[in-house]
Structure 1
Amino acid sequence: MTTPDHQSPAPDHSASESQDRVYRSHAGIAAGVLLLGLVLWLGIDALVSAHGRAPWLALAALILVVPAVAAFTVRPAVFTNHERLRIRNPLRVIVLPWGSVASFRSTYSNEVLTTSGTKYQLWAIPVSLRARKKAARQQSQAATRAARAAKSGRTDARSGVPDGPSRAQTDQVMDDLRELFETHGKSERAQGEPTVRWAYEVIGPVVAGAVLLAVLLAIA
């Protein structure tokens, strides 16, 4: 289930306690698949039907654009279990044992802060200001109905119940992460140092495509 602006991630609740729970932006994945389809369609058409240097330019552009688009749309994910938080961002993979986490912060982006003061953004859990405003409006309307019902002496079981979620879905996800941190942060198995790995499987093709495209344009 997604919010109306189609930017909220959804957890995979099918995982057992011993497996990772996965949070991803379904809307981001859908947008990425559509964009990749368009890029591949245009690129392959140029490879097949174009002449001269155009097929080579199309090939270089595909090598550059396809992994870049996939990295920022389809790739981002957040994995959690009882021992650690693993963040797969576009260009990095960050593994944080719960013991190394200091807090979570939600402003214009969702972030995790470590005990050393380092901040990492959660790309797979984008903030939706629209969803926040909608949830706040629904809470306000429910409170107004409850106040009117109390004033009139009526008993209405739905008077204080919001018409929709009381929290934006991404904020609910952040609440889940905070709960996991509070529950497992002091566990012996959840101790350790953060590790960060660059996504060379993404960076390599992007750099290669950029270099090839620059060379082709330079010799034009």
Structure 2
Amino acid sequence: MTTPLVKDRVYRSPMAVVGGVLLLAIICWLGVDALIRGHGRTPWLALAAMILIVPLVIAFTLRPAVFAGEDRLRVRNPFRVVTLPWGEVAALRSGYSNEVITKSGAKYQLWSIPVSLRGRKKAARRTAKAEADAQRGRQGAEGRMPGGFGGGFRALRDTDGATGPTRAETDRIMDDLRELLESREAAESAQGEVTVRWAYEVAAPAVAGAVLLAILLAVG
């Protein structure tokens, strides 16, 4: 049995998962209450709304994930699963959203790795602060070394822990995926065709709930 060269990595959005769990808890609480205490058409409307809303909440919060293995990238988005051998990936692009682009020109958004403009600004501020601290440390060292060793050594010590440019979390994830792409795109086992599978297990219940809700509202 061959040991995998790269252990599969799974990327999800923690905030989306937490938000999804809270939304499901609220929906279930309100829905079950309406089913038990409701009168007339209320229980049926509550049931139809739950059948419609619950799959959509799961689809957009708990379901999205990116699975990165040694041979392929599997992108599980709300309504479809895209499997891309590394040999078919042309680029991983970050802009206002993170996307994977195939050699045929197709683009697929990475729902579970959302771009955080706030995170980028925060990382940029940390980088600017680290660079300013390092610059002040160098200037202090140059200014104090001739006249007194103590100040110079203290300045050098203060800048020892300064880190290089920082990156937002999702940008670091994209960097990791790009490194994996570069190391595996030429591998023989990483070749193949891109496949797309629609998530009927999510769409079918949502459509059924929408149809039932529409019928109940139409009947009045």
Q: If the length of structure 2 is used for normalisation, what is the TM-score?
A: 0.89
Structure 2 counterpart SS, 1:45: helix
| Correspondences of 1:54-133 after superposition (within 5 Å) | 54-133=42-121
Q: What is the rounded CA distance, in whole Å, between the counterparts of 1:159 and 1:196 in structure 2? A: 50
User: Which moves more between the two structures, 61-70 or 153-162?
Assistant: 153-162
Q: RMSD of the TM alignment (CA)? A: 1.7
Cα contact 1:142–1:161 (8 A) shared by 2: no
Gaps spanning 5+ residues in structure 2: where? 142-151
Aligned-residue offset at 1:143: 0.7
Cα contact 2:137–2:158 (8 A) shared by 1: no
| Count of residue pairs brought into register by the alignment | 205
Structure 2 counterpart SS, 1:93: strand
Structure 2 counterpart SS, 1:196: strand
Per-residue deviation, residues 145-204 of structure 1 (Å, max 9, x unmatched): 111111122343442755898111100000010001000001000001100000000000
| Correspondences of 1:12-23 after superposition (within 5 Å) | 17=5, 19-23=7-11
Q: If the length of structure 1 is used for normalisation, what is the TM-score?
A: 0.89
| 2:171 alignment partner in structure 1 | 171
Q: Which runs of 4+ in 1 moved over 3 A?
A: 16-19, 160-165
Cα contact 1:96–1:194 (8 A) shared by 2: yes
Q: What is the rounded CA distance, in whole Å, between the counterparts of 2:18 and 2:173 in structure 1? A: 20
Gaps spanning 5+ residues in structure 1: where? 1-15
- Residues 96, 37 of structure 1: alpha-carbon distance in 2 compared, 3 angstrom cutoff: same
Pairing 1:140–2:152 present: no
Question: Which AA in structure 1 matches 2:90?
Answer: A
Question: Which AA in structure 2 matches 1:214?
Answer: A
Among all aligned residue pairs of Structure 1 and Structure 2, give the percentage whose two residues are the same amino acid. Answer: 60
